[in-house]
Structure 1
């Protein structure tokens, strides 16, 4: 993307922060400035480009069509610049100390672990600790530098960046379906056993979509799980039906331990979020890993 003559490049990080934070107050907290400054910088950028980048409401902002195009073009460029700056900083100072991260068990095993090994090869003086689990930690108290969360963040004040999206699949074991039958419509799920994944905000209420048709279902449950590993174990044991992220369900579908049902119906997409501890300063080791990890994910895709 060519740089438009006279464009103030300082407005671009503000633009990305507003997209990822979803609101002016959250973007200001992330950048360590006032909400007024964020608003002025965005207005300056929109005036220079001659287009509206955001639809504004009282609480949230959403990208316009032009804003979505601009975001897709800008994000890789700024990530590359940040990566270059982090690499220079790392070369000058050599990343040292300890980098502590936490992520859900499946994401840690399937995605994050290999990335950390590759990152560790580049920074041999850096000690890396990966803690797995779905529990949202007190990052400051536990000394966590970066947390990865899948789905939707309950706390809108968290400083976070969305890294990717994933589909949600409806899953059950072959044994359960053989005993209780395979649902052919989402409405039938209300009569089936459901396994609750407790980190979700509304784990018993789901809205399915097929074309223009919507079906909202209230589930009934006896079993609960607070981790992806235990959720999988309960499903494989025939406890009922539940939802899994596509990246989590792939291996189980391949081996036949679990079966995807109602394939022609879709559920809302979830997101992979990187969550930062409170505070304005982001350590160089965190900035360096995030720049590396974004490139790592893009290469994998």
Structure 2
């Protein structure tokens, strides 16, 4: 590293016209710059500059050496500028993962809109209900429900939603609590849901169920629910888009699910990551509204 530093300083000395001017331009002392030049000439075993009190000129060996040192500085300046420009506008590859449900309803729409604003952005989206190792899979950003216990990851809470236990209106009217339960792959073997009244928060209700069918993806589970095969949980922002579905307990609600953005960048995350997190956070705020809002409004009246 000292050798590269000495070569860079030598190029600055030549271009500045003197050791003093080079030191001023680099914010170093004259003695430091002079010492590096002396060490460089000693290690090379040649004189690079001929110096008088008024001027300096390159030796023949110095001219050839300077040409190569200048290339070194030019390359460093180019790399520096490229790095700065990469943080000015989202561009290039970014790998994002989330669960199946969040990918299709939240992440993909947000990133799709972002691509229209930044056509140089090249997202790669990975849908998985199993939390993937970001470092092993070279993933830049993960959107997950709940905080992570992985200390190596940076995480930011970007919003929340509530699940709604629901089924078709026919199932709700005719089977109610005896309806079969349709579970997602990630749900536990024993189903217990804890409900709180939307208005009377001291009023609690617990729901127990045995799983009659388990699906390996959210959309498969949703398809089963929509077919009338039983009841299951659906995010509130999707439930509101499904008029054929009805809540099993319309005056009660489940606890909220916090949504987090996780990334492996301990210091300043790339602009691609920051921009995508902001877009997904905005999309989540658009999709979600407080559960039981309509009920609260009717109670207020």
TM-score class, shorter-chain normalisation, is 0.5 to 0.7
Mean CA deviation greater in 154-163 or 240-249: 154-163
For 1:107 and 1:138, how far apart are their aligned partners in 2? 18
User: SS at the partner of 1:147?
Assistant: strand
Aligned counterpart in structure 1 of residue 184 of structure 2, from 189, 194, 197: 197
Cα displacement (A) at 1:279: 5.3
Query: Aligned ranges for residues 100-111 of structure 1 at < 5 Å?
Result: 100-111=95-106
User: SS at the partner of 2:253?
Assistant: coil
Q: Which residue of 2 is the match for residue 76 of structure 1?
A: none
CA RMSD of aligned residues (A): 3.1
For 1:299 and 1:171, how far apart are their aligned partners in 2? 22
Q: Which residue of 1 is the match for residue 62 of structure 2?
A: none
Cα displacement (A) at 1:164: 1.2
**2:220 corresponds to 1:230:** yes
Cα displacement (A) at 1:297: 5.2
Over 3 Å counting, the alpha-carbon distance change for 1:121 and 1:238 in structure 2 is closer
For 1:160 and 1:200, how far apart are their aligned partners in 2? 23
For 2:159 and 2:97, how far apart are their aligned partners in 1? 17
For 2:188 and 2:109, how far apart are their aligned partners in 1? 30
For 2:276 and 2:99, how far apart are their aligned partners in 1? 18
Aligned counterpart in structure 1 of residue 209 of structure 2, from 213, 219, 224: 219
| Structure 1 portions without partners, runs of 5+ | 1-87, 183-188
Alignment length (residue pairs): 202
Q: 2:148 touches 2:155 (CA, 8 Å); kept in 1? A: no
Cα displacement (A) at 1:195: 1.9
**1:63-94 CA-partner distances (Å, limit 9, x unpaired):** xxxxxxxxxxxxxxxxxxxxxxxxx9657654
| Structure 2 portions without partners, runs of 5+ | 1-82, 289-301
Q: Which residue of 1 is the match for residue 165 of structure 2?
A: 170
Query: Aligned ranges for residues 181-192 of structure 1 at < 5 Å?
Result: 181-182=175-176, 189=177, 191-192=178-179
Cα displacement (A) at 1:278: 7.3
Cα displacement (A) at 1:162: 1.5
Please tell me whether Structure 1 or Structure 2 has the larger radius of gyration of its CA atoms. 2
Query: Aligned ranges for residues 30-45 of structure 1 at < 5 Å?
Result: none
- What TM-score results when the alignment is normalised by the length of structure 2? 0.57
User: SS at the partner of 2:95?
Assistant: strand
- What TM-score results when the alignment is normalised by the length of structure 1? 0.57
For 2:266 and 2:124, how far apart are their aligned partners in 1? 21
Q: 1:99 touches 1:129 (CA, 8 Å); kept in 2? A: yes
For 2:150 and 2:207, how far apart are their aligned partners in 1? 26
Aligned counterpart in structure 2 of residue 241 of structure 1, from 224, 231, 255: 231
Q: Which residue of 1 is the match for residue 194 of structure 2?
A: 207
Over 3 Å counting, the alpha-carbon distance change for 1:91 and 1:298 in structure 2 is farther
Cα displacement (A) at 1:154: 6.5
Cα displacement (A) at 1:214: 1.6
**1:44-75 CA-partner distances (Å, limit 9, x unpaired):** xxxxxxxxxxxxxxxxxxxxxxxxxxxxxxxx
Aligned counterpart in structure 2 of residue 147 of structure 1, from 132, 142, 156: 142
